[in-house]
Amino acid sequence: MVRPTDIRVPDYFHKVVDCQWACPAHTPVPEYIRLIAAGRYADAYMVNWTSNVFPGVLGRTCDRPCEPACRRGRVEENNGASPEPVAICRLKRVAADNKGDIAARLPRPDKPNGKRIACVGAGPASLTVARDLAPLGYDVTVFDGEAKAGGFIRTQIPRFRLPESVIDEETGYILGLGVKFRAGERIASLKSLLAQGYDAVFIGCGAPRGRDLDLPGRHEAAANIHIGIDWLASVSFGHIEKIGRRVIVLGGGNTAMDCCRSARRLGGDDVKVLVRSGFDEMKASPWEKEDAQHEGIPILDYHVPKAFLHEGGKLVGMTFERVRAQRDERGRRQLVPTGEPDVTVDCDDVLIAVGQENAFPWIERDSGIVFDEWNMPVVDKATFQSSLANVFFGGDAAFGPKNIIWAVAHGHDAAISIDKLLNGEDVGERPAPMVHLLSQKMGIHEWSYDNEISPDDRYKVPWAPSEKTLGNIKVEVELGFDTLTALKETQRCLNCDVQTVFTDKVCIECDACVDICPMDCISFTPNAEEAELRTQLTAPALNLAQDLYVSGELKTSRVMVKDEDVCLHCGLCAERCPTGAWDMHKYLIEMTHAGPGCRSKGACREAA
Amino acid sequence: MTFIAKPKLHHPTLPQNALCFTRRDYEGKISTLCAGCGHDSISAAIIQACWELNVEPHRLAKLSGIGCSSKTPDYFLGQSHGFNTVHGRMPSVLTGANLANRELLYLGVSGDGDSASIGIGQFVHAIRRGVNMTYIVENNGVYGLTKGQFSATADQGSTSKRGVVNADSPIDLVGLALQLGATYVGRSFSGDKAQLVPLIKGAIAHRGAAFLDVISPCVAFNNHAGSTKSYEYVRAHNDAVNRMDVIPEREEIAVDYAAGETIEVEQHDGSRLRLHKLDPDYDPRNRIAAMNYVQQHQALGEVVTGLLYVDAEAEDLHTHLKTSAKPFNQMQAAELSPGAGALLKINASFR
């Protein structure tokens, strides 16, 4: 027997908002999409800014874990030729592009509380810590070896994907909160930094070392073999402006995609990506692969690099072994040689983008930071605290390379830890989120959200003409949605945060909701174990990742079971319900950030 | 009533029938009835039954009169033929349509006002003539469109929403249908689709006058304590005599019940009605016994539901009248109007 669902547990409805649940920073996606639909771009921007700090940057470059999670991609399945999620990421950009001046909405720093924080590195993790702590009165100093803030946002992401003005603007908002930025100061010793008496240190120095490939010929042909992330940084700073005509990019991640597209713009008219794994298993996001192919860059999979070929000290090509994927007896995927002859590809330059690694040469091993067997600092997964109580790690520096949105999420959590630590609280005690649940009923058939479901397919973001973009690495490829197209795209959002809330006491079991539900989500059935219950519904509940909403026992001793999986949140169940047993409630969950709200109740009262 | 149209998106696993239609393809326009109306559940049951029976939408005609119930044909089978008659005249129009073209399936949808009051004369004659049809009365015991006066099927002693006691005797449409010679008679409840859908399927497959009295609570005016047509009252007093499965022709028997627990009735189209007995003594093939049983249990305050009577050997109006098997719309002018000579011959035969 399944027990009645306790909707008071914040996670229950949070999971229904698939996009927000999937977002590491838990950005309230449907909330800001509605604001964009209403033309309230600045409000939409601020919802984003509060939760993910870099809406303009992320609106162009985010890894978008929200989109594969989007319910739209599930409900369009078998209903259209190509089920596609809402273009959440590009809608975020619309908010950023059209917001106007938001300076007045930024927080003003509280009076100084006398506590000093050092952030190592000026990437997204450190800047998030600074953003969260500076307004509370902390004296935050950010150190970075480069001249400008942004970290990998600035050095790794090519300008044709992210104009520098956007980076300047959004890092500027943070540095403008009274944060001290010590540019060009690369920290060389943790010990000496600790000796400067900071109350807490946050290490967000990224994973700065690109992996190399030690193959025959690597040394001899070194002049034309480049480590991808270093090469991208040099391009970004303008140190490199040219590359050979024929370029091989090794690797299948997003860095490889940035490398090949950059090379294409710097003189490479025959650029190829060669990758060990199969095309579908590549780490790069599907849209980044598409973008590369769209620019005429072939991606050759199942090619394992074997040697660099050189003549007279000059690189002339590479040889590759052909492999295929095969499952071993334990079901693990393995690459085995096909036995075909090796492939030789001629080239002038090679970019190696086969991963990156952490490196902490500046942290003395006797500084008190404990390192594990992989030479990574031991960091608590929830608090981001290291073995030194006042030293915290976040972003790629904490658990290896991820992406911007994860770095932001780490930054928020580390900021909470620092705030609690410096207020004498238990860092391990994490704050609950702030949850609002409010009926959206405005009249008999009137809701305060637009419940009509748009049948439209996903809209494509327009691109600048390729003869223009391929000629200049600084010309942004994507033009962003115009506001009219953006409005149409917002209508594809299903408002998954407007929840179907069921009150069993008033249900008369008239079946009206079952009959009207377009997705056959609702059933009235005898209770059973969950596995059995999932099979005896109006439509089988096959997606085990999605919960069943089960009511208490009804008058006929049955229960109401709603499969959350493909609910359109259209509210027809609530419109058809004669007794108000169904109602549509907007569920707004906001993560608690550093500040009085994150502290335990006792401390709150004291502060008041 | 809802303001937005039902979205076209559907469940990814929504099955198709033999005609490659999904259940959603048998839907009609969005209902304008009150939220929670039993009639909407009956519409959903009709949709389900037609989908399961692989009914070709263009081979079905839905006819109705006036009233909440008679609005419902707009809300299902949007691709079928329809005729909305004047109040209470649906049975006559249906009879006429049936005489003109026996190749369609006829579905008459009516209410207790339309059939038991203004149209009762039409109702009784369509039944007694054995018109091949499915006649569904969506019976809620009140006039919902005029704000809840008692209808002719309201039980004596039941109260209106405002507390007025009904002094008149009710018309029992099931009793009438049995007495008048309907050859397939059932009663069900809008809140029990497991029972209702097979009853509708059996009725559509039946040749002859099939009558279903479906109790359908009016949530706006007849769902209170004191009503005998409320969700709660019907659930508490429901006496189901059997559960039915409709087994299409040539389909093998899936479940074996012990002997004596089931009755199988083969209909003229080869499909079989398998009745799983809930009351061991009830035999729906005996009309007199059915009438007695329904009356006895009604007197005890019970609402007898299930397939109450079926005559699988039934004949219909066309057999009685020896009419043409060919629909009028397939005949040419010469056949339809054979001329004065033919008329003279006919007249002469009566002299």
Q: What integer pLDDT is reported at residue B252 of this predicted model?
A: 59
Residue B256's pLDDT band (boundaries 50, 70, 90)? low
With contacts defined as CB-CB under 8 Å, which chain B residues touch A579?
36
With contacts defined as CB-CB under 8 Å, which chain A residues touch B35?
512, 575-578
Task: Give the residue-averaged pLDDT of A192-207.
Answer: 96
How many CB pairs (< 8 A) connect A and B?
Answer: 105
Gap between the Cα atoms of A597 and A604, Å rounded: 7
**At residue A494, does pLDDT exceed 90?**
yes
In this predicted model, what pLDDT tens digit does every residue of A541-588 receive, in sequence order?
999 999 999 999 999 999 999 999 999 999 999 999 999 999 999 999
Distance between B343 CA and the closest CA of chain A, angstroms: 54
**At residue B174, does pLDDT exceed 70?**
yes
Q: What integer pLDDT is reported at residue A605 of this predicted model?
A: 45
Residue B250's pLDDT band (boundaries 50, 70, 90)? low
For A185, residues 6+ apart whose C-beta sits below 8 A from its C-beta are A143, A144, A145
Distance of CA B242 to the CA centre of its chain: 18
**At residue B312, does pLDDT exceed 90?**
no
Shortest CA distance from B48: residue in chain A: A515
Residue A79's pLDDT band (boundaries 50, 70, 90)? low
| Tokens, residue A283 | 């780490």
**At residue A372, does pLDDT exceed 70?**
yes
In this predicted model, what pLDDT tens digit does every residue of A138-169 receive, in sequence order?
999 999 999 999 999 999 999 999 999 999 99
A566 reaches B (C-beta below 8 A): yes
CB contact under 8 A, A579 and B36: yes
**At residue A329, does pLDDT exceed 90?**
no
Of A74-78, A98-102, B89-93, B175-179, the least confident: A74-78
The residue ranges of every structural domain in chain A are 10-104+461-490, 107-208+358-421, 210-355, 498-589
Q: What's the number of CA atoms in the CB half-sphere (13 Å) around residue A54?
A: 33
Shortest CA distance from B13: residue in chain A: A539
Distance of CA A548 to the CA centre of its chain: 27
Domains of chain B, start order:
23-321 (3.40.50.970)
Architecture of domain A107-208+358-421: 3-Layer(bba) Sandwich (3.50)
| Tokens, residue A55 | 């809406």
Shortest CA distance from A564: residue in chain B: B11
CB contact under 8 A, B190 and A75: no
Total length of chain A: 608
Q: Give CATH for domain A498-589.
A: 3.30.70.20
Whether A107-208+358-421 shares its CATH topology with A210-355 is answered yes
| Domain A210-355 indexed as CATH 3.50.50.60 | yes
With contacts defined as CB-CB under 8 Å, which chain B residues touch A573?
none
Q: What integer pLDDT is reported at residue B157 of this predicted model?
A: 95
Q: Enumerate the H helices of chain B as residue ranges.
A: 38-52, 68-71, 90-100, 112-116, 120-128, 173-180, 193-205, 231-237, 287-299, 317-321, 333-336, 340-350
Task: Give the residue-averaged pLDDT of A589-605.
Answer: 79
**At residue A252, does pLDDT exceed 90?**
yes
**At residue B108, does pLDDT exceed 90?**
yes
Task: Give the residue-averaged pLDDT of A348-375.
Answer: 93
Name the CATH code of domain A10-104+461-490 (choices 1.10.3720.10, 3.20.20.70, 1.10.10.10, 1.10.1060.10): 1.10.1060.10
Q: What integer pLDDT is reported at residue A606 of this predicted model?
A: 46
Residue B330's pLDDT band (boundaries 50, 70, 90)? very high
**At residue A607, does pLDDT exceed 50?**
no
Three-state SS sequence of B295-313: HHHHHCCCEEEEEEEECCC
B257: left (phi over 0), alpha (psi -120 to 50) or beta: beta
With contacts defined as CB-CB under 8 Å, which chain B residues touch A520?
10-11, 14
The counts of H helices and E strands in chain A are 23, 24
The span from the first CA to the last CA of chain A, in angstroms, equals: 47
With contacts defined as CB-CB under 8 Å, which chain B residues touch A447?
none
CB contact under 8 A, B10 and A453: no
Choose, out of A510, A523, A560, the residue to mutate when testing the contact with B (most B CBs < 10 Å).
Answer: A510
In this predicted model, what pLDDT tens digit does every residue of A398-439 receive, in sequence order?
999 899 999 999 999 999 999 999 999 999 999 999 999 999
For A526, residues 6+ apart whose C-beta sits below 8 A from its C-beta are A536, A557, A558, A559
| Tokens, residue B163 | 């507390």
Q: Answer for the pair B60, B103: CB distance below 8 angstroms, yes or no.
A: no
In this predicted model, what pLDDT tens digit does every residue of B276-286 receive, in sequence order?
888 888 889 99
Interface predicted TM-score (ipTM) of this complex, two decimals: 0.91
CB contact under 8 A, A572 and B4: yes
Gap between the Cα atoms of A191 and A197, Å rounded: 11
A522 reaches B (C-beta below 8 A): no
In order of A145, B139, B160, the CA distances from A275 in angstroms are: 32, 70, 78
CB contact under 8 A, B6 and A556: no
Distance between A507 CA and the closest CA of chain B, angstroms: 10
A557 reaches B (C-beta below 8 A): no
Task: Give the residue-averaged pLDDT of B105-117.
Answer: 97
Task: Give the residue-averaged pLDDT of A471-498.
Answer: 96
Q: Which of B7, B12, B40 sits opposite A77 (nearest CB)?
A: B12
